[in-house]
């Protein structure tokens, strides 16, 4: 009688073992083919700390990053420099300083980037230096952009 109970227990465990093995193989196949890639399901976003607001943005592998920023400060500001850390090398704002009056928007183009390492999605820190007020004070803010590369 003891042998039959052991055989039944062993058959029970083997049945569940095969079922678990098949489930693990199916999950591995989905992960291999990119179905379970969480980056596919995360929305594109651009965030900047107060007083700036990131209204819209585009990211291209050839052209770099363009960001439309709105000045939410009570004073006019002048963006003197901007860079993208994490997109590629040499991603800097090249151009004359951009004046953004209170409540108005302007487009900042960060160009001269080498191609992105991961062409699907990028996560990059935006470092923006601006001046405001009288006397003129220089401030630096760091935001983040997470986007699909066009």
Give residue 116's pLDDT: 55
Average pLDDT, integer, range 115-131: 77
Which whole-number Å values give the CA distances from 4 to 7, 57, 93, in the listed order?
5, 69, 78
Q: What is the pLDDT of residues 130-147, one digit of tens each?
A: 998 778 889 999 999 888
Give residue 18's pLDDT: 93
| Strand pairing category for 64-71 and 105-111 | antiparallel
Instruction: Find the DSSP H helices in the chain.
Output: 2-32
**Is residue 42 over pLDDT 80?**
no
CATH architecture of 44-148: Sandwich (2.60)
Higher pLDDT, 106 or 113: 106
- 115 secondary structure, DSSP code: P
- In the chain, where the domains are located: 2-36, 44-148
Which whole-number Å values give the CA distances from 146 to 30, 42, 59, 86, 125, in the listed order?
24, 9, 9, 10, 9
Contacts of 113 (CB under 8 A, 6+ apart): 64, 65, 84, 87, 88, 89, 90, 91
Which whole-number Å values give the CA distances from 96 to 44, 56, 99, 112, 127, in the listed order?
29, 21, 10, 15, 17
pTM strictly above 0.75: no
């Amino acid at each position: 009688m003891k042998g039959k109970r052991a055989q039944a227990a062993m058959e029970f465990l083997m049945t569940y073992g095969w079922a678990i093995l098949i489930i693990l193989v199916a999950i591995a196949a989905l992960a291999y083919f990119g179905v379970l890639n969480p980056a596919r399901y995360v929305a594109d976003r651009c965030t900047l700390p107060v007083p700036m607001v990131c209204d819209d943005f585009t990211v291209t592998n050839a052209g770099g990053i363009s960001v439309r920023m709105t000045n939410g400060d009570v004073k006019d500001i002048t963006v003197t420099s901007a860079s993208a850390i994490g997109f590629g090398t040499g991603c800097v704002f090249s151009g004359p300083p951009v004046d953004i009056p209170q409540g108005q928007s302007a487009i900042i183009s960060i160009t001269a980037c080498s191609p992105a390492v991961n062409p699907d999605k990028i996560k990059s820190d935006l470092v923006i230096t601006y001046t405001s007020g009288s006397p003129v004070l220089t401030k630096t803010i760091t935001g983040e952009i997470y986007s699909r590369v066009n």
